[in-house]
Amino acid sequence: MSTREERRMQLLEVAREVVLRHGYRKTNLGDVAREAGVSRATVYNYFASKELLLRAIVSQEVQRLNVAVAKDLDLTAPPHLQLLSYVRARARHIRAIKDFYDLAHNVTRDVLHIVQDEIEEQQAQERAYLVAQFRAGVDQGLFHPVDPHLLGAALLSALRGLYEDYVFDSEDERGEGAELLIRALLQGLLREPDPLVFPGTEPLERP
């Protein structure tokens, strides 16, 4: 990593903490400069506006989440087990970055458009992964015939709501909502029950 990139990352970490502490609207680049112990000109050299700073913060958090989830996935596993581990990994790592979700909720609707591209890109990546697993499950004869795109979009929408409940609802500290959702979905999709998904069951014998 170059010296410039290291400095940018340092400023980004400081800016993240400042925004989390004061909120996006009450933060300005001068606050970031003071906290980092540098001049305003230095901050502007890396982030020309507060809007670009917010986009950089969101982009960094999304990247962190994706890297953490990817490390937990076994890409050689069959599709249904990848879906199960994906949902579990997402829930676990999203809870670990609760402060980022606090930030997201503090961004009001009139500035949400600033990070819309980052949000849509993240959703597109998630949807593509889910669609690929549903398609693979159908192609391999593991799932009943389904529309992978429709199911991927539906699951992503449901999971987003459940992940937020997991982060902010103390009654769902273990992420049971997302776990129940994916298990129920797989129960209806799988042609044969898998003991790894549903302990105590045995695969059905094919006629």
Q: Domain segments of the chain: what residues?
A: 1-48, 52-189
Is the pLDDT confidence value at 207 over 50?
A: no
Is domain 52-189 given the CATH code 1.10.357.10 in the classification?
yes
d(CA 103, CA 107): 6
Which of 65-69, 114-118, 157-161 is the least confident region?
Answer: 114-118
pLDDT in tens, 52-94: 888 888 888 888 888 888 998 888 999 999 999 998 888 887 7
14-27: average pLDDT: 85
* CATH topology (fold) of 1-48: Arc Repressor Mutant, subunit A (1.10.10)
Which of 35-39, 107-111, 126-130, 196-200 is the least confident region?
Answer: 107-111
Tokens 């449901």 sit on residue: 158
What's the confidence (pLDDT) of residue 101? Answer: 59
Is the pLDDT confidence value at 45 over 80?
A: yes
